[in-house]
Structure 1
């Protein structure tokens, strides 16, 4: 099994020089600990995991003694299990002013992790790690995705070309490090084991009253609606649970970094005619497993191919930001006539409209919907059709053709 270099490594090294605490959050098995342990090699930094029940008990019951035993610089793994540590970490940071004293990992999204923000505000650099991006898997440098011709041509030079069959193979296999590195060759067996561990450990940690089989059925109902506007009632009905449970369980999936939302774009001149977010998974391999596709080839011609392809593109664009330590400003647009723009990327004072299509020959008709943004107070920038075209192209002076494999 070979180690896959992560784009976040440079960011970790940078913020370690500036902040006393560095917190890397994200789902289980996306490579948080592996990356930090790789960066620790040849240093004096210690390591302790709160998956160890003895260490966890000490951290919860006597956090002061725990930090005397595990002196900084130290990596504390799965820190969400002992929030009692945060106050003592804060005191240490305020007393010693030591950059990089604590590296922390957590299997919960920071903004949803209770107590951390209050305790460590201003002292912690928070980095979100997702499963691997296609550029990381292919060994290319990750740059935030921009709708700019020079940037797109630069991406094209560095990326590994892929045809439609290859793209759906990438989608089907997913982006978990264990699969991409070759440690596990059968993605279906991996995801089966992953879900068992995930539900038994992380989900029940957040709510121990959850029935494992019901939660799995719920996740399947959610996966079947990837790239769609969130419909809690339908998900609840399919999973045979009530709507409050469905909302609570969706919050758990978001907290654990499994799903994310695109919210509808609006500003003072564009009425937000739709308030409902669209739902996406960070890892399409998990979607394919939950929705029971037997192979990449069957998926390519199946009923969900458009939805899962859209999920793949949206998640890959999001990863180009998250994996380089940047915040994403991704939205979608939909009006009362059901006219929709798949992605609205807000960057550098302009709005870039992006459509995702499973076609290798996009035409000008696909860009007509972009004019919906012309009434916004933020100017409309260049647009893009992300599709199966083998090379970067131009539809007209304001719109580009972007192959999926270069994202």
Structure 2
């Protein structure tokens, strides 16, 4: 069986199985082709009396639409795949778990941020837990620990990482492969390009069509390509509107849809009492750097390469946040004095680990300018600051500051 040979274990497995033990409804949310269905089926394992319903099957979908209550009748856990395809199920699921509050009643998967869909009649506060599934992390692909965030909060400036043999070209190639399982299986760049082309067609014609009526698909495609060329940068609605000749209100709606179907992610701005000059504009990244790289094929300049490597690093951090024991939240920082930090990781105690990304193989003292400014402004809350770069070794750059190879993201294991 090819699936069994090629399957790469997901870190979300433990999150899902733990949630099924104490939560009535568990939702696996994520983009198409990230392996949600496979993960859900594996998480059910040997649970007794499970029932699996796949709403991509027209007959199954018709049954769910016709009689939602009878459709949900099952003695054990019911898996409903692509649940956003039948919004009528939502109230029936809510009523079912209210009558019978046993944990693990439903395991749902969806290719959109379900609770953000306007077609859903009600939310499920206190009844559900949502676990986001992103494209594969480098640790999942390589069998590496993926423990940078937890290690950074545990060790701070005492963190020590291994040297790396990877360089800028290597990181660019890794980013271009992305993390979709099907893309990784295709070793030939031409075949990966065909996957990304078909994937984007499906996103526009199927996923977005399920949640909104887009009249001008060509405008959506132009927007996606433009965003790919700017991935890793601040989101400027007015500039996009001017460049594309599309109303700002439409740009906002389209970007909301792209985030809803997990094509992109907005990294919110961070501020604190000590940083009152912070700017609140979010940063935009593609959830898969391979898709962004495909969309900018033929555009070769330092800005595009830098944006893709930053997107790659931020994407790895976003993935780790979902399983990190530190319960950290990810933001970016920029202020009116032109100090900017690519990633701010803040834990529940208010401690900050700050990360800058440099697509260079060497590091200068000036590369720590923004980290030092942030360190001065927030004082003791500043736990550690790192510049992740395309070089080979870790080097200290003053109190609480050091540069690390980008590969430290996945080669570093969490400490006790």
TM more than 0.5: yes
Over 3 Å counting, the alpha-carbon distance change for 1:25 and 1:155 in structure 2 is farther
Does residue 65 (structure 1) correspond to residue 65 (structure 2)? The answer is no
Does residue 290 (structure 1) correspond to residue 295 (structure 2)? The answer is yes
Residues 195-344 of structure 1: pairs in structure 2 closer than 5 A: 195-293=200-298, 302-323=302-323, 328-344=328-344
Unaligned stretches of 5+ in structure 2?
A: 410-416
Task: Give the ranges of 4+ consecutive aligned residues of structure 1 lying more than 6 Å apart after TM superposition.
Answer: 151-155
Residues 114-125 of structure 1: pairs in structure 2 closer than 5 A: 114=118, 118-125=122-129
Q: Is the 8 A contact 1:3 1:181 kept in 2?
A: no
Q: Residues of 1 paired with 2:271 and 2:314: CA distance?
A: 19
CA root-mean-square deviation: 2.7
Q: Is the 8 A contact 1:351 1:378 kept in 2?
A: no
In structure 2, what is the equivalent of residue 34 of structure 1?
Answer: 38
Over 3 Å counting, the alpha-carbon distance change for 1:154 and 1:10 in structure 2 is farther
Residues 90-169 of structure 1: pairs in structure 2 closer than 5 A: 90-114=94-118, 118-143=122-147, 145-146=149-150, 147=152, 150=155, 156=161, 162-169=166-173
> 1:216-265 CA distances to partner (integer Å, 9 max, x unpaired)?
11110111111111111232344342211111000001111111112222
In structure 2, what is the equivalent of residue 85 of structure 1?
Answer: 89
In structure 1, what is the equivalent of residue 414 of structure 2?
Answer: none
Q: Residues of 2 paired with 1:305 and 1:10: CA distance?
A: 35
Segment of structure 1 superposing worse, 348-357 or 113-122: 113-122
Q: Is the 8 A contact 1:156 1:406 kept in 2?
A: yes
Q: Residues of 2 paired with 1:180 and 1:88: CA distance?
A: 39
Unaligned stretches of 5+ in structure 1?
A: none
Q: Residues of 2 paired with 1:12 and 1:76: CA distance?
A: 14
Q: Residues of 1 paired with 2:160 and 2:116: CA distance?
A: 34
> 1:351-395 CA distances to partner (integer Å, 9 max, x unpaired)?
222211122332333223223323337722211010112233322
Over 3 Å counting, the alpha-carbon distance change for 1:109 and 1:32 in structure 2 is same
Q: Is the 8 A contact 1:350 1:380 kept in 2?
A: yes
> 1:66-104 CA distances to partner (integer Å, 9 max, x unpaired)?
113x55411100111222222222222222222211100
Over 3 Å counting, the alpha-carbon distance change for 1:50 and 1:255 in structure 2 is same
Q: Residues of 2 paired with 1:122 and 1:280: CA distance?
A: 31
TM-score for both structures, normalised by structure 2: 0.87
The DSSP-based 3-state class of the residue aligned with 1:304 is helix
TM-score for both structures, normalised by structure 1: 0.89
Shift of 1:214: 2.4
Over 3 Å counting, the alpha-carbon distance change for 1:155 and 1:218 in structure 2 is farther
The DSSP-based 3-state class of the residue aligned with 2:397 is strand
Q: Is the 8 A contact 1:318 1:328 kept in 2?
A: no
The DSSP-based 3-state class of the residue aligned with 2:265 is strand
Q: Is the 8 A contact 1:184 1:190 kept in 2?
A: no
The DSSP-based 3-state class of the residue aligned with 1:83 is coil
In structure 2, what is the equivalent of residue 15 of structure 1?
Answer: 19
Over 3 Å counting, the alpha-carbon distance change for 1:311 and 1:16 in structure 2 is same
Q: Residues of 2 paired with 1:29 and 1:239: CA distance?
A: 29
Q: Residues of 1 paired with 2:160 and 2:57: CA distance?
A: 43
Over 3 Å counting, the alpha-carbon distance change for 1:289 and 1:237 in structure 2 is farther
Does residue 188 (structure 1) correspond to residue 193 (structure 2)? The answer is yes
